[in-house]
Amino acid sequence: MRYEIRLAGGGGQGVILAGLILAEAGVFEKHHVVHTQNYGPEARGGTSISEVIFSDAEIDYPKTLCLDILVALGQKACDKNLPDVKPEGLVIVDSDLVKKVLWRKVVRVPISRRAQKKFNDPKVANMLALGTLVPFCPWVSARCLSKAIKMRTPAGITQLNLAAFQEGLKLARRLKKSLKFEEIEGVTEV
């Protein structure tokens, strides 16, 4: 049993820290975890990716094979990484920054807008993004993610980060109730 998540976004969107926190939450869940960041020229110019593999056994191959979840915080990040999602996989996108997603199972969350509106701080978008994973990823709980956030973020902004995480979680829970992927035929497009 292996579960793969990739976070993709632009420089400065904090996907690398989010990946680190997700990986450490997986450790608290007692999974085997591999966390990889690949910084290529395209990462420097445009998108960053951070990927986490959870497994119930030792992980021999540390590269993702086909993603269970892709979280994309920008259009370029989405387009570039969509081919690596497995057919029944889920794509979570920032609904303002990703307008077009040719995929069946898509969850659109106003991540950056909410970070700005509610917290007046676009930098917490990565914590909101972590929150959106929880209702869809059976491998990691809100409890362990909160613990990892506390461990990895400076004391002064821990409460802000936790509040942003909870906000993302709340948004995603609400969206999950209204989603019926089974009924959607073909691809969805905005």
Q: Give the footprint of a copy of itself on this chain (CB under 8 A).
A: 16, 20, 23-24, 26-27, 30, 32-41, 43-44, 58-59, 62-63, 154-156
Q: Contact, 21 vs 48, CB < 8 A?
A: no
Rounded to 5 degrees, what are φ and ψ at 59?
A: -100, 110
Shortest distance (Å) from residue 37 CB to a copy of itself: 5
Shortest distance (Å) from residue 39 CB to a copy of itself: 4
Judged by CB, which is closer to a copy of itself: 158, or 188? 158
Shortest distance (Å) from residue 188 CB to a copy of itself: 32
| Length of the chain counted residue by residue | 190
Shortest distance (Å) from residue 176 CB to a copy of itself: 28
Shortest distance (Å) from residue 33 CB to a copy of itself: 4
DSSP three-state, residue 185: coil
Tokens, residue 140: 């990691």
DSSP readout, 95-143?
A: TTT-----BSSEEEE-HHHHHHHHHS-GGGHHHHHHHHHTTT-TT--HH
Q: Using alpha carbons only, what angle is made at residue 125 by residues 122 and 129, rounded to the nearest 5 degrees?
A: 170
Judged by CB, which is closer to a copy of itself: 20, or 82? 20
Judged by CB, which is closer to a copy of itself: 27, or 142? 27
Judged by CB, which is closer to a copy of itself: 35, or 108? 35
Judged by CB, which is closer to a copy of itself: 30, or 180? 30
